[in-house]
Structure 1
Amino acid sequence: MPPSYVRFMIETTIRVEGMRAYPQGELFLLTRGPDGFDALVYNTTGCGPCPDEEFTAIDVEALAAEHGCDLVWKNPRRFWMMDVLTIDLVGEPATFNGVPFNLVAKMHMPAGFDPGQDQSALAYRRTQIHRNSVYEFVAGKPVHLLRSPDEVTWVMQTFTDHIAHDLTEATLPSLGERLALPEGWRFRTVALPQDLVITTTGLANIVPDDLANMYQGLIDGVGNLDPWE
């Protein structure tokens, strides 16, 4: 079933259903500061599926010059893994090279961020992003999890085939066999016994794996249950 898009609160929040394995694209408009980059994060979510060829064709150098920022970093095209997403917008939407985007977050890029690399360069390193969002994962469906040595569960929010070109939703349960997990880290897939809801108000803790898939941590009570346990 294709996603449906519902806007409310005078265009400040979007709720999108049917999101599992649905393609999205993301651009970070970066401004260099004394201790790294600050980013405006634009995402195609709420504007329809991210068109692969048009997104790939976006010229980040031309875009940076046009919008007066230091750099534009293109996050490789990804696929959401929740079933329903609600997220607050933090500014006006924009269209880049004919592709519409919503402004979904602002963040300070983590130490060691290199705009010449993808997120796998920061594999298994926790960072934070400012956003208000609700992720809903439906009971009975699989969720793909990391467990860090400090016994925090990390729930996959997106996967990408940017590095592992054959990675699909169907192959995710065996992803643990392909990851170079650091000592003490574990991966597993479980079927949810009940709906999992992850509610973020302010800061989300996120971590990528070494194939650039992204997970959100169940930290500070953001989840209504821990599916690892």
Structure 2
Amino acid sequence: MLTVRNSAFSLKTKLQNLNELLGKKLFATVLLSLPAFVHAGHIDGLRGNRYCEILLSPTMFKMEVYNTIGLNDCPPKLWNKISVSSVKAETKAAYVKLNGPRYWVIDGMKNSQLVNPQKKVISGLAMREAGVLQLGLSDILSSAKPYHDHVVDRQTTWVYKAGKPVYELIDPKGRVFVMQSYSIEKTPQTAASLAQLGSKLQLPQGWSYRTGVLKQTTDLTAINKKAVVIQDDFLNTYQLATHDFLNPQQSTH
């Protein structure tokens, strides 16, 4: 009987450890993995827009993603009052992550839809459900690593307009990842400061960062309905492109 008790205790301990791991690391993956979210059709004027997200986990490997896009710009007077504990009490979620504020560096989007278009008010902030993510253990274990690929099932097209700056990460294989949004959670950033971001990043060997101005309007589309996304040291998010936006003739996929 002692062996049984020890086994049960060991299992319980392992589950608790996994829960702690989820609470600490799961959400970095979710920051990268957001599916399509605004209304279907073509949305313009997104560059520089501020938004926030609240991530809820009703079960160990399932995440519900809510955001403010299309409803409000995540007013500081509301966002600053929201806490993990208040959201847990209100939603009964096992885990909660407050993600934001974030700012778009895309100009628009196409072919994007909400999972649930109905407005939901969470802790006083109007939001809508952007998607539901099913995550495996491997996603959780690698979620906190910057510059790590995450493959996301989604069908989205980001629009980058001619004459606007773009920010790219290039890996040792020559693959180009284009920034879609920047974060101010870990360090203060502005759109203007992104030009000097390369000198601040702790890039892995063989990686590089560059920026430039687009000569022609360019779309960034999920490849075969799968987006490969990464984050840098400061939680800025990038998506794999089929070609180098600053050298359009150069394929990277």
TM range (shorter): 0.7 to 0.9
Kindly indicate whether the alpha-carbon contact (under 8 Å) linking 2:64 and 2:131 is maintained by their aligned counterparts in 1.
yes
Partner residue, 1:7: none
Partner residue, 2:126: 100
Kindly indicate whether the alpha-carbon contact (under 8 Å) linking 1:79 and 1:159 is maintained by their aligned counterparts in 2.
yes
Counterpart among 68, 84, 91 of residue 44 in structure 1:
68
The structure-2 alpha-carbon separation of the partners of 1:46 and 1:175, relative to structure 1 and needing over 3 Å to count, comes to same
2:57 is equivalent to residue 30 of structure 1: yes
The structure-2 alpha-carbon separation of the partners of 1:226 and 1:38, relative to structure 1 and needing over 3 Å to count, comes to same
CA drift of 1:66 comes to 2.6
Moved over 4 A (4+): none
Name the % identity.
29
CA drift of 1:13 comes to 2.6
2:182 is equivalent to residue 182 of structure 1: no
The structure-2 alpha-carbon separation of the partners of 1:65 and 1:46, relative to structure 1 and needing over 3 Å to count, comes to same
Distance in 2 (alpha carbons) for counterparts of 1:19 and 1:12: 13
Counterpart among 181, 185, 195 of residue 217 in structure 2:
195
Distance in 1 (alpha carbons) for counterparts of 2:41 and 2:66: 14
Distance in 2 (alpha carbons) for counterparts of 1:142 and 1:29: 34
2:114 is equivalent to residue 89 of structure 1: yes
1:39-74 CA deviation, whole Å, 9 max, x = no partner? Answer: 111111111212123123212223223323211111
Partner of 2:57: helix, strand, or coil? strand
How do 1:15-164 residues align onto structure 2 when only pairs under 5 Å count? 15-33=42-60, 37-86=61-110, 87-91=112-116, 92-109=118-135, 110-112=139-141, 121-164=144-187
The structure-2 alpha-carbon separation of the partners of 1:81 and 1:140, relative to structure 1 and needing over 3 Å to count, comes to same
The structure-2 alpha-carbon separation of the partners of 1:128 and 1:178, relative to structure 1 and needing over 3 Å to count, comes to same
Amino acid in the other structure paired with 1:187: Y
Kindly indicate whether the alpha-carbon contact (under 8 Å) linking 1:153 and 1:228 is maintained by their aligned counterparts in 2.
no
- The structure with more radius of gyration: 2
TM-score (norm 1): 0.80
TM-score (norm 2): 0.73
Distance in 2 (alpha carbons) for counterparts of 1:182 and 1:199: 26
Q: What is the aligned length?
A: 204
Kindly indicate whether the alpha-carbon contact (under 8 Å) linking 1:153 and 1:226 is maintained by their aligned counterparts in 2.
yes
- The structure that is strand-richer by fraction is 1
- The structure that is helix-richer by fraction is 2
Kindly indicate whether the alpha-carbon contact (under 8 Å) linking 2:149 and 2:228 is maintained by their aligned counterparts in 1.
yes
The structure-2 alpha-carbon separation of the partners of 1:104 and 1:131, relative to structure 1 and needing over 3 Å to count, comes to farther
Partner residue, 1:170: 192
User: Which segment is superposed worse, 76-85 or 93-102?
Assistant: 93-102
Partner of 2:87: helix, strand, or coil? helix
Consecutive unaligned residues in structure 2, runs of 5 or more: 1-37, 248-253
Consecutive unaligned residues in structure 1, runs of 5 or more: 1-10, 115-120
CA drift of 1:97 comes to 1.6
Kindly indicate whether the alpha-carbon contact (under 8 Å) linking 2:46 and 2:104 is maintained by their aligned counterparts in 1.
yes
